[in-house]
Amino acid sequence: MEEESRKEEKQEEKPLEKMTVIDLKKIALEIPDIKGVSAMKKDELLSVIKEHRGIKDEETPVKKGKKKPAKAALDKKKLKGKISQLKQEKEAARGKEDRKRVDMLRRRLSRLKKQTRKAAQA
């Protein structure tokens, strides 16, 4: 009996977002007038529990790792110039039979082509 009350106290201390789906379902089952708890997903359970408790949802952005700073957008003309320059370097590396350099340039060219497509859409 004491273990169950301790577990419940620990669950109450933990923020709802950090709880597992199983814990959230146990809490939701205690709320009257709610059906289909077993089929609900975590975000649905959170919204139901918060609504019942009168907690307002605060929109907080979810952080997943470090974000790289945004690169300065190049215009299409500069990108095309860079592509033609790299193509010449690639041909020179092929002549020297420098396989590593050819592969590196191929990947850079691919990235630049993708950037030109994005620039054209914007």
pLDDT the model gives residue 5:
53
Q: How far apart are CA 45 and CA 29, in angstroms?
A: 10
Same domain, 6 and 47: yes
pTM: 0.40
Same domain, 6 and 49: yes
Q: Are 43 and 24 spatial neighbours (Cβ–Cβ below 8 Å)?
A: no
The answer to the question of residue 116 being in a domain is yes
The answer to the question of residue 58 being in a domain is no
The answer to the question of residue 62 being in a domain is no
Domain count, the chain: 2
Q: How far apart are CA 8 and CA 20, in angstroms?
A: 13
The answer to the question of residue 102 being in a domain is yes
Which range of residues forms the domain containing residue 109? Answer: 76-121
Q: In degrees, to the nearest 5, what angle opens at C-alpha 53 toward C-alphas 38 and 37?
A: 5
Same domain, 83 and 117: yes
Residue 12 has pLDDT above 80, yes or no: no
pLDDT the model gives residue 111:
93
Residue 4 has pLDDT above 80, yes or no: no
The answer to the question of residue 49 being in a domain is yes
The answer to the question of residue 25 being in a domain is yes
Q: Are 116 and 79 spatial neighbours (Cβ–Cβ below 8 Å)?
A: yes
Q: How far apart are CA 56 and CA 52, in angstroms?
A: 10
* Residue pLDDT, tens place only, 28-84: 888 888 888 888 888 888 888 888 888 876 655 555 666 655 555 567 888 899 999
